[in-house]
Chain A
């Protein structure tokens, strides 16, 4: 107090005469708290808003949608519901906006019925509603946010760097993704009726979000696991194989020897057998008498 008052003028000097009054200390403390609070209010919420790109109205709209469409399984506050027979819906605290954008944006959520795996269907919510839902779930706890185009695009790289990224993305894809999603992203079967979906038609943003959040039985490939630029490289690789001409002929679904064998046996060998039958069956005979010297045996 003394240090604060010393450089001030005599108004301050007059004030200082009251400094030993019983309420003076309390007043100073209140003033201090007020200024701290004002400073915090001025800076902190602004930066939080910038981080999430959301506002209270959006979160409120998201909460309304959530209570109608999601709360039945995930709980009124997204805390998850465990019933007697097992988990109805997992907790959504900390799954982040990216998980919501993926699950709702690809039509997996809301689920029509419980099952081994949430099926992909036409999405139920509009883009704005998905955004509001994402904002609400993101407000429940910190989690990965929705990636922007800068995250999953390699357009900002030079031509050579793009080629390099695609090659690296291919190697990363073969090491990390092809076990379940097949060597060209056509998807594959998983135990107990589940499947790893095809990646051929999935949008770049949803590919990125799936790696980031690990939906359902998929493992998480967080940014600490596979760096953001490596995720973009994997996406670039997947896009590049769409553009590649089929040097080996028709891909037949790209699921390897199963479909190739089926076509080879049914169409290939079947066609040859049919052709052989046709050759043997086609036999024109004349009713005219023979004019040559040949005689029947």
Chain B
């Protein structure tokens, strides 16, 4: 180390030659406020006026806060909520007048002398650098870190082990999802209900071309009490709160009725999964999990608005465009007691890919 620093310091230029002669600063011209006492007084009053305007705005903010109604009879101002407009405008103007006042003060009245500072090399002087390096070497020599590997190694080990408490602490941020991503609340015989209203669906209620946003029974909040009692008698579990949202984020489906002749059946979308042209697909895009229901009736193409993945719902949810790598999972349907129900859960995990998922 000590071999190098001498040669480095020799490369530093002692001083920089000016390629063009320095013309120096132009002659300083005073501002009107520097030479005219009247102008100076006027500028002073202007600055004070801006600060006073700011105070008025702050008071107006308080007045608007208490006088403008935001409850039943909302005050409006050109079609906008008057309270929000007044609060925003007064607070914004109060801050802006302080800013304008300060700038006006600085430009008209504060010191107006041009200041310059010549550039100089950023490095320390060669003497300082030499002395620092010498001290560092002496310190290393005195600590004996090179001669005492036991101390060095245990110290490095101690610092490394500090990572363990961190990792153990992170573990409690949440449990691993385990198999939860592979299943939804759909099960054999789960009734399909309309989203929002929660009513069960008969095949005859759907016409060709119909699209219905649907949920498994129990995942809708707008229920009539007698329906809930009847459902619970059949063993339906009605979820609420966080559980409802978690279950809904995986279980949401769209239900479509098409001409049966338009449907293409395959191994992954067999004929016995549909009922009279009615098919159900997961509403969760297989790309990154946006909920999708932008369907085009005539082409049966379902478009995800996030990244334009497009699925052909007449052909087992096949990807026809976009970044999605897998078809939309289809929910096998059948009719039970006149209502549409699921034959089983989805046969594959819904939503986007994840590490542990097999790639089929």
Contact = CB atoms under 8 A, between A and B. Distances in A.
Interface in B58-106: 74, 76, 79-82, 84-85, 103
Nearest to A227: B197
A216 interface: yes
A175 B195 contact: yes
Interface string B285-321: 0000000111111110101010010100000000001
Contact of B212 (A179, A194, A225, A249): A225
Interface residues of A, number: 45
A277 interface: no
Interface stretch (A119-127, A131-139, A283-291): A283-291
Nearest to A196: B294
Interface in B191-210: 194-197, 202, 204-210
B297 A217 contact: yes
Chain B's interface size range is 35 or more
Nearest to A282: B107
A220 B297 CA distance: 8
A282 B32 CA distance: 13
A245 B30 contact: no
B115 A297 contact: yes
Interface in A167-196: 168, 171-172, 175-176, 179-180, 188, 190-191, 194
Given A219-B295, A225-B206, A168 B222 contact: yes
Nearest to B75: A245
Given A249-B80, A288-B30, A297-B115, A218 B297 contact: yes
Interface stretch (B10-18, B21-29, B155-163, B323-331): B21-29
Contacts of B208: 220
Given A171-B196, A176-B213, A286-B35, A224 B297 contact: no
B30 A285 contact: yes
B54 to A, nearest CB: 17
A286 B207 contact: no
Contacts of A285: 29-32
Interface in A218-274: 218-222, 224-227, 230, 245-250
A150 interface: no
- Decide if the interface of chain A is mainly helix, strand, loop or mixed: loop
B116 interface: yes
A227 B200 CA distance: 12
A242 to B, nearest CB: 10
B301 to A, nearest CB: 7
B35 A290 contact: yes
Contact of A222 (B80, B207, B303): B207
A113 interface: no
A222 B79 contact: no
A294 interface: yes
A248 B299 CA distance: 38
A198 to B, nearest CB: 16
Contacts of B80: 245-247, 249-250
A253 to B, nearest CB: 14
B114 A296 contact: yes
A279 B107 contact: yes
A13 B294 CA distance: 77
A221 B293 CA distance: 13
B6 interface: no
Nearest to B100: A279
- Decide if the interface of chain B is mainly helix, strand, loop or mixed: loop
A175 B213 contact: yes
A191 B301 contact: yes
Contact of B79 (A191, A221, A245, A294): A245
A296 B25 CA distance: 9
B303 A286 contact: no
Given A176-B195, A217-B296, A286-B32, A245 B113 contact: no
A120 to B, nearest CB: 18
Interface in A132-178: 168, 171-172, 175-176
Contact of B297 (A176, A214, A246, A247): A214
Contacts of A217: 296-299
A191 B25 CA distance: 63
Nearest to B204: A224
Given A214-B209, A219-B211, A288-B30, A297 B25 contact: yes
A91 B79 CA distance: 46
B299 A296 contact: no
A9 interface: no
Contacts of B81: 245-247
B34 interface: yes
Contacts of A216: 297-298
A125 to B, nearest CB: 25
A97 to B, nearest CB: 16
A176 B293 CA distance: 8
A179 B294 contact: yes
A292 interface: yes
A149 B301 CA distance: 34
Counting chain B CB atoms within 10 Å of each CB, which of A179, A279, A286, A287 scores highest?
Answer: A179
Interface in B206-262: 206-213, 222, 256
Given A224-B204, A297-B116, A290 B294 contact: no
21 contacts: A176-B213, A180-B294, A188-B305, A194-B296, A217-B297, A219-B210, A222-B205, A222-B206, A224-B202, A225-B211, A246-B81, A247-B81, A247-B84, A249-B84, A279-B103, A284-B31, A285-B32, A288-B35, A290-B28, A296-B25, A296-B28
Interface of A: 168, 171-172, 175-176, 179-180, 188, 190-191, 194, 214, 216-222, 224-227, 230, 245-250, 279, 282-292, 294, 296-297
Q: Which 8 A-B pairs have the closest CB atoms?
A: A224-B205, A296-B28, A219-B211, A220-B209, A247-B81, A217-B296, A288-B35, A179-B293
